[in-house]
Amino acid sequence: MAVVASAPGKVLITGGYLILERPNAGIVLSTNARFYAIVKPLYEQVKPDSWSWGWTDVKLTSPQLLRESMYKLSLKNLTLQAVSLSESRNPFVEYAVQYAVAAAYAIFDKNKKDALHKLLLQGLDITILGCNDFYSYRNQIEARGLPLTPEALAALPPFASITFNADESNGGNCKPEVAKTGLGSSAAMTTAVVAALLHYLGVVNLSSSIDQQHDGDLDMVHMIAQSAHCIAQGKIGSGFDVSSAVYGSQRYVRFSPEVLSSAQVAVKETPLQEVITGILKGKWDHERAMFSLPPLMTLLLGEPGTGGSSTPSMVGAVKKWQKSDPQKSQETWKKLSESNSALETQLNMLSKLAEEHWNAYKQVIESCSKLKSEKQLQLELQFQL
């Protein structure tokens, strides 16, 4: 039986850089662009002598990148070993697989572990697919002579293949051109893979509706996905992208880095099952509260055409600036925090107005949608008065 799970991308509308430091909050919106993970058995039947095997097969397929990789998963120490050469490995999926399987071993009793062992011996066949919005298809659209509009992007087939670099398209060493749009593809992909695997292995049950899902199941997905994503990145980020991939739009305050720093060190010399046990018992002190844009408001994003920026390098540049001028950086941080809080207050106020005075709110929004930006501001001020 195949399991399909998906997770949304993200847009951080307030809290950029500040969200790295507690107790600064950020508002993050989940997008309609989603990453999908499909997990199914690699083999229909388990061979009679397979119980003596100390490993199983894992196949990872990414149709959009025209890649297929094969691994051996050790059933003793739960490490992955690549057996097929690939130009580019995917550490996010690799850690997602290891951490999800380790979570199952960590929480199951002996009977469930026997069933888990049998299931794993059938191998894991994992396919990952990301909505087109996660990538730039600018070259493909222009090659078709189409305008750079949302309609032209929507005309592309779902999960379209990523274009190849023009200068290498005729060579035998082609590399897919992966120009990202900054919607948190790695976090959404990691979360989707973790969710699909945890459900497939019987650790969580995500088949019910959102309203009926047990909070503990989503919390389990969050802890494992957050951990795998941080370890794959090689650093402990704020985690807002994974949190929104699991829970949706929210007001977010990061967890204390210490909850994962010990695991980051221990993973090199401690059995993975013990690492996961420590993570699941850790003090996850992040804060999240439901948030959504006011009614009748939609966030539209545009692609500048230069590809995504490197978050680690930009964060490094900001931290370097903070150290070089601590006084000015603290003043700037304070002003930004105050502005972020003011925007959050205004958005919440609009939501409240919509709830209490819907007809008037709707009329103002519809009027604003036909005006230029400076006229919208004047009308909003009149409405508040």
Give the separation between CA 23 and CA 32, rounded to whole angstroms.
28
Which residue ranges of the chain lie beneath pLDDT 70?
49-52, 85-87, 163-178, 208-214, 266-268, 304-310, 373-385
Give the separation between CA 84 and CA 104, rounded to whole angstroms.
26
Asked if residues 104 and 77 have their Cβ atoms less than 8 Å apart, the reply is no
Q: What phi and psi, each to the nearest 5 degrees, are found at residue 218?
A: -65, -35
- Other beta carbons less than 10 A from residue 14's beta carbon: 21
| Per-residue model confidence (pLDDT) at position 148 | 86
Nearest to 98 by CA among 72, 121, 122, 119: 72
pLDDT digits (tens, 9 = 90+) for 85-141: 656 789 999 999 999 999 999 999 999 999 999 999 999 999 999 999 998 888 888
| Per-residue model confidence (pLDDT) at position 355 | 95
| Beta pairing, strands 55-62 & 124-130 | parallel
Asked if residues 64 and 162 have their Cβ atoms less than 8 Å apart, the reply is yes
CB burial of 164-173 (b: ≥16 within 10 Å; e: otherwise) equals beeeeeeeee
CB burial of 127-154 (b: ≥16 within 10 Å; e: otherwise) equals bbbbbbbbbbbbbbbeeeeeeeeeebbe
| Beta pairing, strands 67-74 & 80-82 | antiparallel
| Per-residue model confidence (pLDDT) at position 149 | 85
SS3 18: helix
Asked if residues 33 and 15 have their Cβ atoms less than 8 Å apart, the reply is no
What does the domain layout of the chain look like in residue ranges? 3-135+180-290, 311-377
Give the separation between CA 42 and CA 138, rounded to whole angstroms.
36
SS3 40: strand
Give the separation between CA 240 and CA 218, rounded to whole angstroms.
15
Cβ-Cβ contacts under 8 Å for 155 (sequence gap 6 or more)? 146
Give the separation between CA 293 and CA 15, rounded to whole angstroms.
16
Asked if residues 155 and 108 have their Cβ atoms less than 8 Å apart, the reply is no
| Per-residue model confidence (pLDDT) at position 212 | 54
Transcribe 332-380 into DSSP letters.
HHHHHHHHHHHHHHHHHHHHHHHHH-HHHHHHHHHHHTTS-HHHHHHHH
Quote the pTM value: 0.89
Q: What is the DSSP letter of 269?
A: T
Give the separation between CA 231 and CA 90, rounded to whole angstroms.
12
> What is the CATH architecture assignment of 3-135+180-290?
2-Layer Sandwich (3.30)
Please name the residue that has the structure tokens 């997770």: 7
| Per-residue model confidence (pLDDT) at position 213 | 58
